[in-house]
Amino acid sequence: MLPGIIVLIAVLLVLVVLHVLDDAMRTMQERLGLPVAGGMKWGKRVTWVLLVLALGQFFVPDGLFAPAPPIVEPLPQIAIYTSDGLWSGADTARLTFLDDELESRIRYGRELIARTAVYLGPNGSVAHLTNGLNCQNCHLDAGTKPWGNNYGAVWSTYPKVRSRSGKLESVEKRVNDCMERSLNGVALDSMSKEMRAIVAYMEWLGTGVAKDSIPKGTGIEKLAFLDRAADPTRGHEVFNVKCVSCHGPQGEGMLSTDGATYQYPPLWGDHSYNQGAGLYRLSRFAGYVKANMPQGAAYDHPQLTDEEAWDVAAFVNSQPRPAKDLTGDWPDISKKPIDHPFGPYSDTFTEKQHKYGPFGPIAEARQKK
């Protein structure tokens, strides 16, 4: 606007000057008796045209002459892999290339995974639905750590039929399974802002992972079975040496100084996962701790042997924890995982063997069927 006004004033000034000059020339020529030349005529005409143009600029719609904004191609939201080909999440820096609303929804989803208790815990700011654990306590690095129980295959494999429920399960249903079991809490409304954010985060994490594929390094590592039963007594020793310093002698964990989330989450007792949770199965617990515990361990530098992992799993999962009504689970009992610790079973092995092993004979019997 301002430059336009300056141009207009300049043109007006030139016009005035030309008029004055022209009049002066005429008067001088007349006095001297010279023929009057139309010398300034063209100059004045051009200036009038400029004046009209200068005025016209105020009626031109905004942006007609502005350069078109450069087209920013969004960077593809692709998955990242470790040097040995394990899925390890997606680069959050790329979120800025998404539209603002989607970006903030995904970021909120990630935040809910990382600091669940702040929003949904016993003193949560949104609702009080869970036992105080964060999803991230078990799904490390917001569900992106290789063999850290990550979410690499969630978007590519759901919805899928799961034998635990015998039904086709959506991502929402699976998230709520962990809400009700691992966080011993209450399901989120599937249309709530929180569930929409978690699902958006899962979808974003899954971009670049082909439908139905399960990238290497997703979920929990499968350890080889021991040829004996896992031993809670030996596991107690492992616990005393390698776990107690953080998780506490009663497995009670320790709250952070902010009092909202755990610095060290509980492993058993009232505030831990319940008997229907995935970690209550020995193979899940052993595979999780082998690649991730004590804190700082990773699949490529574990700090436990397989034996220690199985034994400490047996110890922790023989301690008290909340119960859960599991009567609706495993409608087809022949589909129960071999380490599901509650009968009835479609084979003749005892509950005790299904809980602690040895698992080899159960697996063999199943294969023969």
Contacts of 10 (CB under 8 A, 6+ apart): none
Residues in binding contact with ligand HEC, number by CB under 6 A: 45
Among 81, 264, 299, 349, binds ligand HEC (CB under 6 A): 264
CA distance 195 to 221: 27
Q: Which stretch binds ligand HEC (CB under 6 A): 50-58, 204-212, 274-282, 351-359?
A: 274-282
When asked if residue 115 is in the footprint of ligand HEC (CB under 6 A), the reply is no
Site string for ligand HEC, 172-201 (x = CB under 6 A): --xx--xx--xx--------------x---
CA 95, 96, 99: angle at the middle one, nearest 5?
90
- Identify any residues that bridge with 81 across adjacent strands, giving them in sequence order: 87
Among 278, 311, 314, 354, binds ligand HEC (CB under 6 A): 278
When asked if residue 273 is in the footprint of ligand HEC (CB under 6 A), the reply is yes
When asked if residue 205 is in the footprint of ligand HEC (CB under 6 A), the reply is no
Nearest of 257, 254, 324 to residue 295 by alpha carbon = 254
When asked if residue 260 is in the footprint of ligand HEC (CB under 6 A), the reply is no
When asked if residue 88 is in the footprint of ligand HEC (CB under 6 A), the reply is no
Residue 187 identity = A
* Whether the Cβ atoms of residue 309 and residue 261 lie closer than 8 Å to each other: no
When asked if residue 312 is in the footprint of ligand HEC (CB under 6 A), the reply is yes
When asked if residue 142 is in the footprint of ligand HEC (CB under 6 A), the reply is no
Whichever of 96 and 125 has its CB closer to ligand HEC, that residue is 125
What element of type H or E holds 365?
A: helix 360-368
State both tokens at 342: 């509650």
When asked if residue 209 is in the footprint of ligand HEC (CB under 6 A), the reply is no
Among 18, 140, 205, 291, binds ligand HEC (CB under 6 A): 140
DSSP 219: B
Whichever of 178 and 209 has its CB closer to ligand HEC, that residue is 178
CA distance 339 to 344: 13
Nearest of 205, 216, 208 to residue 86 by alpha carbon = 216
Residue 178 backbone dihedrals phi, psi, to 5 degrees = -70, -35
Q: How far is the CB of 326 from ligand HEC (least distance, A)?
A: 15
When asked if residue 220 is in the footprint of ligand HEC (CB under 6 A), the reply is yes
For 40, 71, 105, 133, 285, the CA distances from 130, given in Å and listed in that order, are 88, 45, 21, 7, 21
When asked if residue 219 is in the footprint of ligand HEC (CB under 6 A), the reply is yes
Site string for ligand HEC, 227-246 (x = CB under 6 A): ---------------xx-xx
Q: Measure CA 111 to chain center.
A: 7
Q: Which stretch binds ligand HEC (CB under 6 A): 11-19, 68-76, 151-159, 342-350?
A: 151-159
When asked if residue 153 is in the footprint of ligand HEC (CB under 6 A), the reply is yes
Residues 359/298/170/322 CA torsion (nearest 10 deg): 60
Residue 263 backbone dihedrals phi, psi, to 5 degrees = -75, -40
Q: Three-class SS of residue 242?
A: helix
Site string for ligand HEC, 156-175 (x = CB under 6 A): ------------------xx
Binding site for ligand HEC (CB under 6 A): 113, 116, 133-140, 149, 151, 153-154, 174-175, 178-179, 182-183, 198, 219-220, 242-243, 245-247, 264-267, 273, 277-279, 284, 288-289, 293-295, 304, 312, 316
